[in-house]
Chain A
Amino acid sequence: MAATRAAIGLWHRLLALLGSLLGVLAPATSRAVDLPGDKAEALVHSYFGGGVNAYGPAFLVRKSLMDKVSLSGTYYLDAVSNASIDVVTTASKYNETRHEFGLSADYVYRDAQITLGAMTSHEPDYVANTGNIDVTQEVFGGMTTVAFGFTKASDKVGKKNSPEFSDHAHHWQYRFGVTQILTSRWLASLNFDALSDDGYLGSPYRSARVFGAFVPEKNPRTRSSRAAKVKLIGDLGSFGSINFGYRYYSDTWDIKAHTAEAGWSRYFGEKWLADIFARYYTQTHANFYSDNAMSETVYVSRNRQLSTFNDIGLGARLSYNVRRVPGRYDVKLIGTYEYTNYKFKDFTDVRTGELYGYGANIIQVYLSATY
């Protein structure tokens, strides 16, 4: 009897708490979040490593209409020349081009920003269509920003020179993030993602190895994952700013991964901004992954992306302010370079039998104009 009364009392209090919480979450009367500013950007991106060369241009244009909506369009081109270890050991080098178009609209209402986006990516043998919605809301006097997002992607998987092969894949991503001002110099953010994949989740070109023989790989047709990331940014006055991040990932394929990042940014004079950053990533292998399976299993894969490995990356970015009129326009030229070294623990180079490893270079040249 006492327990029931206590339970009812607790329920009433929880309802009152929810009421006041919602009160705080309700938008303030006249505070406003800014629409994203107009801008035009051009990027030349490139990746060289492990026998794969991928490069291309990317463009972004953003314009606000009538101070109510901000529209943005993106185009991304990826010209890939693939002579990776998988390709050279089981097939022959190939070239492929991927085109990606994106469109998004941002709408601001008081303290909230709503983004709707759509994107389509085309490769000769893979078409992906994505739709997303993101809602960002400022609460607690602007000290806290809460963000929710959802993305749904539908892919059509094909195989070159095999018109009889046709399959689909569907992906759902649920995002939740909180950004919190800690002090006048420190910011923290927390991000949670839940991903769900369904359908054909492998590659029709990749082989697995069972008892030394190459067989087509077989992946499960579902995958469910969770990721959580925490990031901290601090202002060091004249020494610039530093940031730290850590992400934990785990999924139903038994992959567990840790990512640790750190970076430092500093202004040099009026026109230069330099960043250096480091990243460490480590993961455990999927439960059906094997470099050379010694038993018959329902699922088998030799995809090195699912193996046990780690990678360490180190990079630097230099930004030059070409023209700047505060409040009017800002033109920047930015160059970025990152070197990442991949070391595999249970994936071997079949040509030598040694554990595989390679270094990859990323170079970006980027021009950004905000007006």
Chain B
Amino acid sequence: MNTPTIARRAFALRTVACVVVAVAAGTASSAIAPQAQAPDFSLHSMSGPNMRLQDQRGRVVMVNFWATWCAPCRQEMPQLNRLYQKYRSAGFVLLGVNVDDDPSKAAEVATKLGVTFPVLLDPEKNVSKLYDLSTMPSTVIIDRDGKVRYVHRGYLAGYEDNYEKQIRELLK
């Protein structure tokens, strides 16, 4: 084999190997770490007026990111609604951030599921990017001082029991 062929082959093989190693090393991880200050945001709500995260300071906030096309998200909604009704008088607020391209679909599904907590619309995905979501749905629980305390990725039946435990702990 002459040198130019070896060099070209080495380059090609090196590129392939690097890609393989890079894919192997790359794993999805969320940038929102517990104990960090929750990034502030302001979004239109389904009912019209804007809502700002910072305005909720002093209350325990649960931010739930959902979409109409995500089946576990829809499964989770009635559970979240139940938690909202139970603890809102104790200083708990639930913000449902919807990431559908078409906000009207969000309104339709939220009404059908009987959602009573505020639904905020993030069709540009700005807040989703801000919170670096790695899964749908994602649930972030923020304490009365605006610090992120718990992050839940995905939803499986039974998760709501965990949520309830954590909310009660933060409401104390």
Chain A contact residues, CB within 8 Å of chain B: 17, 20-21, 23-24, 28-32, 34, 37, 67, 140-142, 325-327
Contact = CB atoms under 8 A, between A and B. Distances in A.
Interface string B73-103: 0110000000000000000000000000000
Nearest to A328: B112
A12 to B, nearest CB: 14
B23 A34 contact: no
B68 A326 contact: yes
Contact of A24 (B24, B72, B108, B153): B24
B33 interface: no
Contact of A327 (B112, B154, B157): B112
Given A30-B154, A34-B71, A327 B109 contact: yes
B112 A325 contact: yes
B72 A30 contact: no
B1 interface: no
A30 B28 contact: no
Interface in B109-160: 109, 112-113, 134-135, 152-157
B98 to A, nearest CB: 14
Contacts of B23: 24, 140
Interface residues of B, number: 25
B21 interface: yes
Given A30-B153, A326-B108, A327-B109, 18 more contacts: A20-B25, A21-B20, A21-B24, A23-B27, A24-B24, A30-B135, A31-B135, A31-B154, A32-B154, A32-B156, A67-B157, A140-B23, A140-B27, A325-B112, A326-B68, A326-B74, A326-B109, A327-B71
Contacts of B155: 32
Contacts of B25: 20
A82 B68 CA distance: 49
B157 A24 contact: no
Interface in B3-29: 20-21, 23-28
A37 B75 CA distance: 12
A20 B21 contact: yes
A65 B25 CA distance: 37
- Most B CB contacts (10 A, CB to CB) among A17, A20, A37, A142 go to A20
B72 A34 contact: yes
A30 B159 CA distance: 10
Given A17-B20, A34-B72, A24 B109 contact: no
Contact of A17 (B24, B71, B74, B109): B24
A24 to B, nearest CB: 5
A141 B134 contact: yes
Contacts of A21: 20, 24
A34 B70 CA distance: 10
Minimum-distance CB pairs A-B, first 3: A141-B28, A20-B24, A327-B74
A140 to B, nearest CB: 7
A201 B135 CA distance: 49
A29 B29 CA distance: 11
A30 B28 CA distance: 12
Given A326-B68, A327-B109, A327-B112, A30 B152 contact: yes
Contacts of B24: 17, 20-21, 23-24
Contacts of A67: 157
A233 B24 CA distance: 26
A31 B27 CA distance: 13
A21 B71 CA distance: 30
A105 B106 CA distance: 34
B21 A17 contact: yes
Nearest to B74: A327
A141 B109 CA distance: 27
A312 to B, nearest CB: 36
Contacts of A28: 28, 153
Nearest to A327: B74
16 contacts: A17-B20, A21-B20, A23-B27, A24-B24, A24-B27, A28-B153, A29-B153, A30-B135, A31-B154, A32-B155, A34-B71, A37-B71, A67-B157, A140-B27, A327-B71, A327-B74
- Most A CB contacts (10 A, CB to CB) among B26, B74, B153, B154 go to B154
Given A141-B28, A141-B134, A327-B71, A31 B20 contact: no
A222 B152 CA distance: 54
Contacts of B154: 30-32
